Amino acid sequence: MSAPKKNKRRYAITAAIAAGAVAGMTGLAFAAVPLYQAFCRVTGFGGTTQTATVAPSVVLDQRINVRFDANHAADLPVEFTPSQNAQNLRIGETSVAFYRVRNTSDEPVTAVATFNVAPHVAGQYFAKLECFCFTDRTLAPGEEADLPVLYFIDPEIASDPDTNEIDTITLSYTYFRSTSAPAEPAG
C-alpha cells in the first residue's frame, strides 16, 4: 500500500473515532441529569430521601429525632412553616408531620416544593410513604393548607457504620414558584 493511501486510511479511522467520541459525549450530556437523579434516588446521595409503598415490619427500640425545616423562594409570596419543630420516634415507626402554607398575596400562586435531608448520609434511610413534594399546588389569595408527610426511618440505618452516631435528622422543604404553571400577573 502506498504512503498516501495509508495516510488516507489513518485519517478516516481518526475521523471516525473523533465522530464517535463526539456522538458519545453528546449522548452522555443528555443522559447526565436523568442518570444523576436516578443515582440520587437509589443511593440517597445529597440527602435525597427514598419513596416507599409499605412501612417496615420491624420497629426498633432505638429512637431518633427528626427536625423539620421550611423555606421559600424570595419571589414567592407565601408563609411556609412546619407545624411541629421536631418529632422523636422509634426507628422503623411510621409518623406523620405537617407543614402549613399560606398565600400572602391577592393573586393565585402556583408553587412546588423540593426537599432534602441532613446529614446527607441519612437520606437513603429516610423513606416517605406520602408527600406533597414535586406536585404543583395552586393557592388562591389568602388560602392556607396543611400539607402532610407520612414517613419512617428505615431500620437499616442502625446497622450502617456510617450512620451509627446519627441521633438527629433534619427534613427540609423549600417552596418555589412552579415553572410548569403559567406566570402569575405582576401585582
Closest CA to 117 of 168, 159, 59, 82: 168
CB neighbourhood size of 150 (10 A): 15
Q: Residue-wise pLDDT tens for the chain (187 aa)?
A: 666 777 788 888 888 888 877 776 766 665 554 554 555 555 444 444 556 566 777 999 999 999 999 999 999 999 999 999 999 999 999 999 999 999 999 999 999 998 889 998 998 899 998 888 878 999 999 999 999 999 999 999 999 999 989 999 999 999 999 887 555 444 4
For domain 47-177, give the CATH number: 2.60.370.10
- For the purposes of burial, counting CB atoms within 10 Å of the CB of 1, is it exposed (0-12), middle (13-18) or buried (19 or more)? exposed
Is 51 strand, coil or helix? strand
- pTM for this predicted structure: 0.70
